[in-house]
Each structure stands twice: as C-alpha cells, then as structure tokens.
Amino acid sequence: MARYFLQIQYDGSAFHGSQIQGDTPTVQLAINQSLSTLLREPIESFGASRTDEGVHALCSYYHFDTEQPLHENFIYKMNAILPLQIAVNKLYRTVDPELNCRFAAVSRQYRYRIYKEKNPFKQNRALYHPYKIDRAILDETAEVIKEYTDFETFSKRNSQTKTYLCTIMESRWEDFEDELHYVVRGNRFLRGMVRGLVGTQLQAAKGKVSIEEFRKIIESKDCTQADFSVAGHGLYLEDIEYLEGSLIEIFDKN
C-alpha cells in the first residue's frame, strides 16, 4: 500500500468548509469523489488542515492510500474531474507509508486580506473594512502575539482540542498594493484562531482595546473575550511545510 500527498488549492466560497460533513458540499467530499472515480475504487482522503466555510487555500494537502499504480497523467486527470473551484498543483509519494499530512506538518502559514476602498471584484476574496485603524498598533499587537504560547482565548468552543499550546514563528502586518495583510506562521493552529487574532487586533487598532488589555485578553484563556467576527473569505491557508526528504514528487508524463 502506497501513500500519496495531493497539494491543492481551492476557492472556499464554493464549499461548506474543508472537512467531510455527510453529503454537504465540502473540499474533502469533492476530493474523495474524484479520487474514487479516477481510481475506480472507494478512496478516502485526509486533510492537513480544517478550514471553515468561506476560507480559501493557496496550498493545502490531502493524503490517500492505494495499492494500484497511478495514471501517468494523474494530475491532469484529477483536475479534469474535480470542480472548477479546486485544483491539484502537485503530487507526492511519501517515503514513510504512515506519514500523516496533518500531524507531520512542521508549520502552517495563513494570510488574512483586508481592503479599505469598496471594490466589487474583491467580494468574497478579502474583508471590506472601511474604518480608520492605527497601523502602528497592529504592528505592536503582532509582536505581542509571538510572546505567547497558550492561545486558549482564540480557540472556539467545542473544538475538542487536547492542548492550546502553539508556537508562533511569524506574526506581522504587510502592505500589499491597496490591501493590508496579516501573515502568521505556527507549528499548529486552533479552530478559529487566525480569525480571532485578526478580529481582536483590529479592535485594538480602532482604539477599543489597549495593548495592555490585549495582553489580558490573551492571558484570560476566555474565548468570549476575543473577536471572531471577521469574515472567513478574507482568510487564506498559504503554505504547509514538511520535513525535507519526506516527500517524493511525481510528475505527469506530458
């Protein structure tokens, strides 16, 4: 039995989240159905990250197992079957047949996009936020976040997580053309965590929360103190890293 990793991207506005929910249209369901059609056997995939409804992915991974050889133009065939809102970018075979794309990830990076001037072409692609904010405060809150490891405050209830400890490697705000982006990289993220971090930082940047109060919100370990209200369509899963040498890329013949 061989294990394969699919590197994919998707438009989250077309799905009710990434994780399987019966017959509800999700990313995982579409991948399972497409794999089963191409391989002509029931295939169940497993995702590297669980994204909420509306959240996009520029780079995510799903793994699946099969004993049969793959088609020489597997990526092309998968993309022909998958919905237009999902694309397979790369295909890998794992060195370790037990490698799990979720638990083996070394780090994940998310990006949240915000724009100030109304733009109909950015609807469902970024957060329209036409309010005055203090950019210097955002830079400060982003630095504060890296000082902490317990993010229970930014985990939605009923997440069934066993630990709230996360290592944040990068946390920063960037100007990108006419947008403002929050970029965060960590070894793991909790359910709703990035949106909670963005929403609460915006509250500070609008003068509703001081830096000291922002620290107290983190330390409270109380999710009711965080702001999760920012829309999912502004959030992108941008990158997932694995240990070097753990994956062998497979290319289509043509």
Domain span(s) for CATH 3.30.70.660 in the chain: 107-238
Q: Where are the beta strands (DSSP E) in 165-210?
A: 168-176, 179-186
Q: How far apart are CA 22 and CA 139, in angstroms?
A: 42
- Asked if 197 and 145 count as a contact pair (C-beta separation under 8 A), the reply is yes
Query: What's the predicted TM-score (pTM) here?
Result: 0.95
User: Is the pLDDT reported for residue 156 higher than 80?
Assistant: yes
Domain span(s) for CATH 3.30.70.580 in the chain: 2-104
Q: How far apart are CA 29 and CA 150, in angstroms?
A: 33
Query: Quick one: tokens of 188?
Result: 């793991």
pLDDT per residue over 82-130, tens digit each? 999 999 999 999 999 999 999 999 999 999 999 999 999 999 999 999 9
Query: What separation in angstroms does the CA of 157 have from each of 34, 51, 193, 221?
Result: 33, 16, 11, 11
pLDDT per residue over 199-245, tens digit each? 999 999 999 999 999 999 999 999 999 999 999 999 999 999 999 99
- Residue 79 is classified by DSSP as H
CATH number of the structural domain 107-238: 3.30.70.660
pLDDT per residue over 167-188, tens digit each? 999 999 999 999 999 999 999 9
List, by residue number, the catalytic residues: 52
Q: Which fold has domain 2-104?
A: Alpha-Beta Plaits (3.30.70)
Least Cα distance to 171 among 137, 143, 204 occurs for 143
Q: How far apart are CA 95 and CA 169, in angstroms?
A: 27
Query: Quick one: tokens of 182?
Result: 């929050």
